[in-house]
């Protein structure tokens, strides 16, 4: 009986060692993968995304690889964009667990274009998108931003044709609280061009700008602490403006 138990214990230990080695190998392999193709455990969900650390921040790579490994369901609602999207707890704000936050602080139109396949692969029912302020901050022209926007919208239409897309205007900033070389005119020009693009592509444009602006085209200090991001009261204003679409 003792001999039999020893054999069982030996077999168990061998299986444990084999399993542990495979698990460690998978973890190390996954962590070091910064090539164009990010492989998940689910072979059917291979995503072609550039994760070159020379092009994108650690935060961008961390967020994107996390998104890829989450198990989103078809038909969910996606909020897509930069820090203004990432900061808010949208599913709780709308009391809707089907809402997914796909915001990344510092993201740009070309950053979203790069990672868009992760969004469209699950065929969301709706996408609410806000982008552009970081592009302006990187001294990109309105034309180059709009060109990326058009690629994003066309790619969504191609890969997830039943998805309803809502494009938000860029919000004002408050230079009394936030130091930046971004000009008011650049924001207004981008919003005007975004509106025209949405008309052209028959996409819903949601103009939030007037709801948050005060004299001299400044972001209302009532809705911001740092002059560029929104506080909780600001997100309640945003919610009221779009709840009929959500």
Cβ–Cβ < 8 Å for 66, 40: no
**Per-residue confidence band for 1, with pLDDT thresholds at 50, 70 and 90:** low
Phi, psi dihedral angles at 99 (to 5 degrees):
-85, 130
Task: Give 27: exposed, middle or buried? Use CB within 10 Å, 0-12, 13-18, 19+.
Answer: exposed
> Can you list the domains of the chain with their CATH numbers?
72-242 (3.40.50.1110)
Cβ–Cβ < 8 Å for 125, 77: yes
Going through 58-206 in order, the beta strands assigned E by DSSP cover 77-81, 99-103, 126-130, 164-168, 204-206
> 164-168 and 204-206: which strand pairing?
parallel
What integer is the mean pLDDT of 120-132? 97
Q: Is pLDDT of 32 > 50?
A: no
Q: Is pLDDT of 40 > 70?
A: no
For residue 214, give both structure tokens: 């005060």
The pLDDT of residue 199? 98
Cβ–Cβ < 8 Å for 222, 172: no
The pLDDT of residue 71? 78
The pLDDT of residue 130? 98
Q: Is pLDDT of 242 > 70?
A: yes
Q: What is the pLDDT of residues 58-114, one digit of tens each?
A: 999 999 999 999 978 889 999 999 999 999 999 999 999 999 999 999 999 999 999
Q: What is the pLDDT of residues 43-56, one digit of tens each?
A: 445 788 999 999 99
The whole-chain average pLDDT of the chain stands at 87
**Per-residue confidence band for 31, with pLDDT thresholds at 50, 70 and 90:** very low
Q: What is the pLDDT of residues 216-233, one digit of tens each?
A: 999 999 999 999 999 999
For residue 53, give both structure tokens: 């650390």
Lowest mean pLDDT among 10-14, 234-238, 242-246: 10-14
The pLDDT of residue 33? 43
The pLDDT of residue 45? 57
Cβ count near 84 (within 10 Å): 24
Q: Is pLDDT of 196 > 60?
A: yes
**Per-residue confidence band for 133, with pLDDT thresholds at 50, 70 and 90:** very high
Residues 6+ apart with CB under 8 A from 219: 171, 172, 173, 174, 212, 213, 227, 228
181 or 26: which carries more pLDDT confidence?
181
**3-class state of residue 82 by DSSP:** coil
The pLDDT of residue 208? 98
Q: Is pLDDT of 38 > 80?
A: no
What integer is the mean pLDDT of 231-237? 98
Q: What gap in Å lies between CA 243 and CA 246, rounded to an integer?
A: 5
**Per-residue confidence band for 12, with pLDDT thresholds at 50, 70 and 90:** low
**Per-residue confidence band for 245, with pLDDT thresholds at 50, 70 and 90:** very high
Lowest mean pLDDT among 7-16, 113-122, 169-178, 193-202: 7-16
Helices (H) then strands (E): counts for the chain? 10, 9
């Amino acid at each position: 009986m003792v001999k039999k138990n020893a054999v069982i214990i030996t077999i168990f230990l061998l299986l444990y060692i084999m399993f542990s080695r495979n698990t460690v190998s998978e973890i190390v392999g996954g962590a070091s993968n910064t090539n164009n193709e990010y492989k998940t455990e689910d072979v059917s969900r291979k995503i072609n995304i550039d994760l070159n650390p020379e092009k994108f921040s650690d935060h961008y790579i961390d967020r994107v690889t996390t998104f890829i490994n989450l198990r989103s369901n078809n038909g969910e609602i996606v909020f897509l964009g930069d820090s203004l999207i990432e900061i808010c707890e949208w599913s709780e704000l709308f009391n809707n667990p089907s809402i997914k936050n796909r915001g990344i602080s510092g993201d740009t139109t070309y950053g979203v274009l790069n990672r868009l396949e992760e969004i469209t692969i699950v065929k969301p029912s709706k996408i609410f998108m806000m982008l552009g302020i970081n592009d302006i901050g990187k001294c990109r022209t309105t034309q180059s931003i709009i060109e990326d926007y058009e690629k994003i919208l066309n790619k969504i239409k191609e890969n997830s044709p039943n998805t309803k897309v809502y494009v938000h205007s860029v919000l004002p900033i408050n230079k009394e609280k936030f130091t930046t070389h971004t000009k008011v005119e650049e924001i207004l020009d981008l919003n005007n061009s975004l509106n025209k693009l949405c008309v052209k592509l028959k996409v819903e444009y949601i103009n939030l700008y007037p709801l948050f602006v005060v004299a001299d085209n400044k972001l209302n200090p009532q809705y911001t602490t740092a002059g560029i991001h929104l506080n909780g009261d600001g997100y309640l204003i945003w919610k009221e403006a779009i709840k009929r679409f959500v």
